[in-house]
Chains A and B, each alone.
Chain A
């Protein structure tokens, strides 16, 4: 406002109040683009895009040498999963694919008809779910060979996790009305009690020379 008044004043009295026009010089920002390009390229080179993803597993603690005792498990409660040195997956002696294994585990753990050749279940009061039949006696016994490839083992582990997720998801939809991903912490805990992961991994067998380092 003040400036405008001054300028009008100047126009009227061009000689007396002539002042040097002051303009703030503009910053030359042409090189700015180059600088930021350099930064961009630096970040592109030094960073990696791949997010860390993977299959989470929990290892059992090492058994205490003195206290070690053979736990006897009834034959009906065991599902024997083997992978041999040639990556053949067998489950209780039947060769199958990873997808079939998922179905087999679901049938085995759920044991809908209480088949006497399939695992025992016990009745328990579960938080949020009430009285449930809990499959807490089954064991998936996993046996691999030292020459089994990691990929075959991983596909088997993936199938096992898929089976448990399928069962828990099914129960979550039926009882809580939403899928497994949307479950709260308490709901997840209840699902884990109904379908606990009971997996026993044995020492790998030594095929021929073994994958020693």
Chain B
């Protein structure tokens, strides 16, 4: 070694071993697959749900039916069932068809989640509730974000 004192050591940058990179990314992927759920519908109305302190998690996903109430593209309030804008009168048929697609166990647990914008007037909500009563879907849930105080 003494002899080569003036000779530069060869500056080879060692290559990064990336063989475990896929494993890392798969871990992240599985994490996301577990904590998220697929979007069922495209929201056609924009809504901002209220905040509350007493909100609870919804039960079985398979027994939940969503009704969206928010501002449509035109700027006025509209109701969305599945992927289209609908009127209050269509809710009854919608609940019936959703109920038929469920298993007997889910039918008894049927919960309607009302995802409504904060600004929606109660007149619309009240009409929706009335038609839910008519179709005997009595468990409802007002979607909200949890807030501390």
Shortest Cβ distance from A150 into B: residue = B120
Given the complex of chains A and B, what is the CA–CA distance between A49 and B35 in angstroms?
A: 7
**Inside 8 A of A210's CB, which chain B residues have their CB?**
121, 123
Q: A62-B133, A158-B54 are in contact. Are A56 and B139 (CB under 8 A)?
A: yes
CB proximity of A166 to chain B, nearest CB, Å: 10
Measured between beta carbons, the chain A residues less than 8 angstroms from B84 are: none
Would you call B141 and A58 a contact (CB within 8 A)? no
Q: Please, how many angstroms separate the alpha-carbon atoms of A40 and B31 in the complex?
A: 10
| Chain B facing A: main interface SS | mixed
CB distance from A97 to the nearest CB of B (A): 13
Given known A39-B29, A52-B58, contact A150–B117 (CB-CB < 8 A): yes
Minimum CB distance partner of B145 in chain A: A53
User: Chain B, 135-149, contact with A by CB distance < 8 Å: what is the 0/1 string?
Assistant: 010111111111000
Tell me the bound Cα distance from A43 to B28 in angstroms: 11
Please indicate the chain B residues that have their CB under 8 angstroms from the CB of A49 in the complex: 35-36
Residues in chain A near residue B32, CB distance under 8 A: 40, 43-44, 47
Interface residues of A in 26-61 (CB under 8 A from B): 29-30, 32-33, 35-37, 39-40, 43-44, 46-49, 51-61
Question: Any chain B CB within 8 A of the CB of A196?
Answer: no
The reply on A146 being an interface residue by CB < 8 A is yes
- Determine if A185 is an interface residue (Cβ-Cβ < 8 Å): no
Question: Chain A 142-155 against B: per-residue CB contact (8 Å), 1 yes, 0 no?
Answer: 00111111110111
A165 within 8 A of B: yes
Q: A52-B143, A144-B126, A149-B121 are in contact. List 6 more A-B contacts (CB 8 A).
A: A36-B22, A48-B37, A59-B129, A150-B120, A150-B121, A154-B52
* Top 10 A-B pairs, shortest CB-CB distance: A211-B121, A211-B123, A146-B123, A47-B36, A151-B118, A32-B22, A158-B52, A52-B58, A54-B141, A36-B25
